[in-house]
Amino acid sequence: MKKSAFFIVCAFLISTVFPVTGQGPKGPGLNVGNLAPDIKLDSPDGKQIALSSLRGNVVLVDFWASWCGPCRHENPNVVKAYNKYKNAKFKSAKGFTIYSVSLDKAKQPWVNAISQDQLSWPYHVSDLKWWYSAAAKAYGVQSIPTNWLIDANGYILARDLRGSALEAELQKLVE
């Protein structure tokens, strides 16, 4: 009898401290609550940028490509959210930024699309390996556009936020 009471109390304490909500510290993975896989790829100027170097910020990891019509159609929504929240005060983060991962095969179309679509954030990366990108493999990307919203500690908050859904999720995180 004493053992069962002990286990009940332990179970209660564990469920209180680590509620089963799909969020909170978990191991690496691709679901809400998981630690997002790190990515380290080159920017257009050849500088390697690691996703983990952006810790402290809320980060949208955005997979796209210059040749992807739906991606280019979604880019104005991403730009709008970035411009609205890049200087916002967040409850548990220094700020908001975007880590754009391109699945392009050639540098020039990628760079041209960044300029044409006015993707003004500083974190654009690619290995120019198209669907064979190491980042696409790490994130299990099967189609684009696709994205993951990551908190200041690198944990996944949400995924596949398009249109106004991205702004709505960011609004929940501001002071």
Q: In this structure, what CATH number is given to the domain that contains residue 51?
A: 3.40.30.10
* Of the candidates 101, 74, 51, the residue with the CA atom closest to the CA atom of residue 166: 74
| Greater pLDDT, 4 or 127 | 127
- Residue 14 belongs to a domain: no
- Residue 48 belongs to a domain: yes
- Residue 93 belongs to a domain: yes
- Residue 10 belongs to a domain: no
pLDDT greater than 60 at residue 93: yes
Helix intervals (H) in the chain: 2-17, 69-85, 107-116, 134-138, 164-171
- The pLDDT of 105-110, averaged and rounded, is 98
- The pLDDT of 4-11, averaged and rounded, is 40
Q: For the segment 29-83, what is each residue's pLDDT rounded down to a tens digit?
A: 899 999 999 999 999 999 999 999 999 999 999 999 999 999 999 999 999 999 9
pLDDT greater than 90 at residue 19: no
- Residue 4 belongs to a domain: no
Q: For the segment 135-165, what is each residue's pLDDT rounded down to a tens digit?
A: 999 999 999 999 999 999 999 999 999 999 9
* Of the candidates 37, 25, 44, 28, the residue with the CA atom closest to the CA atom of residue 141: 37
The CA–CA distances, whole Å, from 115 to 75, 93, 111 equal 12, 28, 6
* The predicted structure's pLDDT at residue 1: 47
- Residue 6 belongs to a domain: no
User: Domain count of the chain?
Assistant: 1
- Residue 79 belongs to a domain: yes
* Mean pLDDT score across all residues of the chain: 89
Q: Quote the pTM value.
A: 0.84
Domain interval for residue 159: 25-171
Count other C-beta atoms under 10 Å from residue 89's C-beta.
Answer: 10
23 exposure class (CB count in 10 Å sphere: 0-12, 13-18, 19+): middle
pLDDT greater than 80 at residue 98: yes
pLDDT greater than 90 at residue 5: no
- Residue 32 belongs to a domain: yes
Cα distance between residue 164 and residue 44, in whole Å? 29
pLDDT greater than 80 at residue 20: no
Q: What percent of the chain has pLDDT over 90?
A: 83
Beta strands in 10-143 (DSSP E): 40-42, 48-50, 58-64, 96-102, 123-125
The CA–CA distances, whole Å, from 58 to 14, 90, 110 equal 28, 8, 24
pLDDT band at 28 (very low <50, low <70, confident <90, very high): confident
Cβ pair 175, 89 in contact under 8 A: yes
